[in-house]
């Protein structure tokens, strides 16, 4: 079974600085997708960024980018120029097939002014 591990239960960053959240996953598949979701205090899950496993180029969405290392099964999220609104729980997720979506336990990010 596929598993997703987020080894950092909590992280903090100074406003305007850069922070990297870690995620590793376990799979024997070669074709899959990876996602980062943000869950602010409202608890609404928001899709931040996604990566297709067959693409070597790392995905980027404005201040959010990923470092995808397929061989190492690593998928970290980098947040640049951190803002107070970035404070949230961040979940890494793996998807293979239409219905098999696995989530990590989450990393709580605090942004200090």
Q: Which two tokens stand for residue 51?
A: 């990566």
Please say which residue, 73 or 96, places its beta carbon nearer to another protein. 96
DSSP 8-state code for residue 30: S
Q: Give the integer Cα–Cα distance in Å for 53 and 76.
A: 14
Q: Are 111 and 87 in contact (CB under 8 A)?
A: yes
Please say which residue, 93 or 109, places its beta carbon nearer to another protein. 93
Q: Are 33 and 102 in contact (CB under 8 A)?
A: no
Please say which residue, 28 or 113, places its beta carbon nearer to another protein. 28
Question: Among 46, 51, 86, 53, which residue's Cα sits nearest to residue 65?
Answer: 51
Q: How far is the CB of 38 from another protein (least distance, A)?
A: 11
Q: How far is the CB of 66 from another protein (least distance, A)?
A: 14
Binding residues for another protein (CB under 8 A): 4, 9, 32-33, 35, 37, 42-47, 50, 52, 91, 93, 95-99, 101-106
Q: Are 76 and 6 in contact (CB under 8 A)?
A: no
Q: How far is the CB of 113 from another protein (least distance, A)?
A: 26
Please say which residue, 33 or 64, places its beta carbon nearer to another protein. 33
Q: How far is the CB of 72 from another protein (least distance, A)?
A: 21
């Amino acid at each position: 079974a596929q598993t997703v591990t987020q080894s950092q239960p909590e992280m903090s960053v100074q406003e305007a600085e850069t922070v990297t959240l870690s995620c590793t996953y376990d799979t024997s598949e070669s074709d899959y997708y990876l996602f980062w979701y943000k869950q602010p205090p409202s608890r609404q899950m928001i899709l931040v960024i996604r990566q297709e496993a067959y693409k070597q180029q790392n995905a980027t969405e404005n201040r959010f980018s990923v470092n995808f290392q397929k061989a190492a099964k690593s998928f970290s999220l980098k947040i640049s120029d951190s803002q107070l609104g970035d404070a949230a729980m961040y979940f890494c997720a793996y998807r293979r097939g239409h219905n098999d979506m696995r989530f990590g336990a989450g990393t709580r990010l605090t942004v200090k002014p």
